[in-house]
Structures are given as C-alpha cells and as structure tokens.
Amino acid sequence: MRDVEVGVFGGSGLYELFGEVERIEVDTPYGPPSAPVAVSEVMTDRGPIGVAFLPRHGTDHDLPPHRIDYRANVWALHSLGVRRVLAPCASGSLQPDIHPGDIVVCDQLVDRTSGRPSTFFDGPTVNHVSFAEPYCSELRSIVVDRAIATGVSVHRSGTVVVVEGPRFSTRAESHWYRRQGWHVINMTQYPEAVLLRELGICCCAIAVVTDYDAGVDDRPGVGPVSQDEVYAAFAAAMPVTRQVIVDVLGSMPSERSCGCAQATNGLEPDVPPVAG
C-alpha cells in the first residue's frame, strides 16, 4: 500500500476525478467507516503524494449526517498514517454577500448538533483538548491562497454552524443564525473536526456554498432550497474543488509547523479492541 499523507473527506464524485484508486477495507475499534478508503497517488509540483479519500455519506450517499460514524471515519484515516485532512463540505450561505459557487475557508465552528459521539476520550484517560481554533491555521492559509488562484470567489474566514439534520432549517432558525453573524451552515463538520484535533491531525474545512439558507434570500417568488439543488450544485463544484486540492497538495511543506500535533496533550485515547 502507498504511504498516505493526506486525507480528504469527499465522495466518489470527487475521487473519481483523480484517476486510479486502490480501495482499502479498514477495520476500526468503532466499527467500519462509511465506505472503503480510496487511496490514490496524486502527482503534484513536489512529486507524488499518497491521498486517502473517504466519502462521509457512503459510496452511494446512503448515510444521513446524523447516522455517520464520525469516529470510525476519522480513525480509519488515522490508522493509514494521515496527518492532514482537507474537508470539502456542501454548505448553505447565511449572509447575503456569500453566494452559491463561493468557497468559505472556515476558521470557526458552532456546534448545534445533538447526541453525536464526539470524543475518543471516553475514559479512563481524560483529555481536554484545546479547540479555541478548530481549524489548522497553516493549512487554512495554503487553501486560501490556492483557492484564490483558481479564480473562484473565496472568503478567507468564516464561522460554520453545524446542525443536526437531516432536515434543513426553518426560516426562524436561519434568521437567528444570520443575526449571530455566522457565515455558512452545514451538517457534518461536527464532530469531525474535534475528533481530528484529538488525534493531532490538521484539518481545513472547505465550505462549498451550494445555496442561500432559508432565511437569507427572501425575494418574492424564491422558495427554500431543495435537496436536489444542493446535490447538483455540489457536483458542479467538483472540478474546482479538485483543482484546489491538487494545488494545495503541491504547496504543503513536508513538515508541519502548526500546533495541531501538540493539541493532544501527549495523550492517546483508550480504545476498544477491533472486533473480530
């Protein structure tokens, strides 16, 4: 198996753009991940880099956001040696100056989910990781620069509010999120981001804006977004997303200079044995 340096949470619509992949079945202490991990060797300006692609929602997009086993997914990438993760995610805009087709490179996160297992540290080892800055500043800076270079409209920072789903927001909820000054809304960034932090893995969310949330675009005759519209908009953004990822891979330094690896406090979680 190739050495794997970078992980990408993205569906088959993304990794099929990278050519030949090797699909690897990974056992984790938390059960199987959403799908086999697709590993590819991506050619970049600094040579070939092993990249592991894992579709959050499953190969056939049959896992709703509240049923994803985030711990299994993150552990699967960790077990392959991944140290950095790029996390493209379909997101709705909460602000009128953030438009469908834009990319928001998030620097903050607000959790509005409920009941999702969100830590590897269930005891007896106790570990309170720092999460004041949920995303890696070093990786974010590279993503911002490379995304701008593609010509797409890029927002250098932004707060993503993560809701439980699978339903979309009511207009009242959407108006409230907008008034808080939050920028985009998504259903998968939590607990994904904090689980990566607990294992010392760098994470950068690449919010691909697919629509205006229910309380943003109130023009007469404009209805709320539909599931089909979101899927279609995210699929249409895949070529640009792929280009950003390739350019980021070629721009990353070999060694990390951020503090993500130290955020674990030097502790390893107590994990159950792999079943079977």
Q: What are phi and psi of 133, to 5 degrees?
A: -115, 95
Which of 111, 213, 217, 218 is catalytic? The answer is: 213
What is the predicted pLDDT for the residue at 20? Answer: 79
Q: How many CB atoms lie within 10 A of CB 123?
A: 9
What is the predicted pLDDT for the residue at 185? Answer: 97
Question: Is 213 among the residues known to form the active site?
Answer: yes
127 near 198, Cβ under 8 Å? yes
* Cα–Cα dist 239/244, whole Å: 9
Which residues, listed in sequence order, are joined to residue 50 by a DSSP beta bridge?
41
pTM above 0.75, yes or no: yes
* Cα–Cα dist 261/155, whole Å: 26
Kindly list the distances between the CA atom of residue 195 and the CA atoms of 42, 51, 184, 213, 258, in Å, as whole numbers in the listed order.
Answer: 26, 19, 21, 27, 17
Which of 62, 211, 217, 270 is catalytic? The answer is: 211
What is the predicted pLDDT for the residue at 248? Answer: 96
What is the predicted pLDDT for the residue at 273? Answer: 74
Q: How many CB atoms lie within 10 A of CB 268?
A: 13
Q: What is the 3-state secondary structure (H, E, C) of the chain?
A: CCCCCEEEECCHHHHHHHCCCEEECCCCCCCCCCCCEEEEEEEECCEEEEEEEECCCCCCCCCCHHHCCHHHHHHHHHHCCCCEEEEEEEEEECCCCCCCCCEEECCEEEEECCCCCCCCCCCCCCCCCCCCCCCCHHHHHHHHHHHHHCCCCEECCCEEEEECCCCCCCHHHHHHHHHCCCCEEECCHHHHHHHHHHCCCEEEEEEEEEEECCCCCCCCCCCCCCHHHHHHHHHHCHHHHHHHHHHHHHHCCCCCCCCCHHHHCCCCCCCCCCCC
What is the predicted pLDDT for the residue at 45? Answer: 81
What is the predicted pLDDT for the residue at 197? Answer: 98
In this structure, which amino acid lies at residue 135? Y
User: Which residues, at least 6 apart from 8, have a Cβ–Cβ distance to it below 8 Å?
Assistant: 14, 15, 51, 52, 53, 54, 85, 86, 87, 88, 245
What is the predicted pLDDT for the residue at 274? Answer: 66
* Cα–Cα dist 10/13, whole Å: 8
Question: Is 211 among the residues known to form the active site?
Answer: yes
What is the predicted pLDDT for the residue at 219? Answer: 56
73 near 192, Cβ under 8 Å? yes
The series of mean pLDDT values per 10 residues for the chain, 276 residues long, is 84 68 93 94 86 93 95 97 96 94 98 97 95 98 97 98 96 94 97 98 97 75 78 90 93 94 94 69
Q: Is the peptide bond before 29 cis (omega within 30 degrees of 0)?
A: no
- Report all structural domains of the chain as residue ranges with CATH numbers, in order of start: 6-264 (3.40.50.1580)
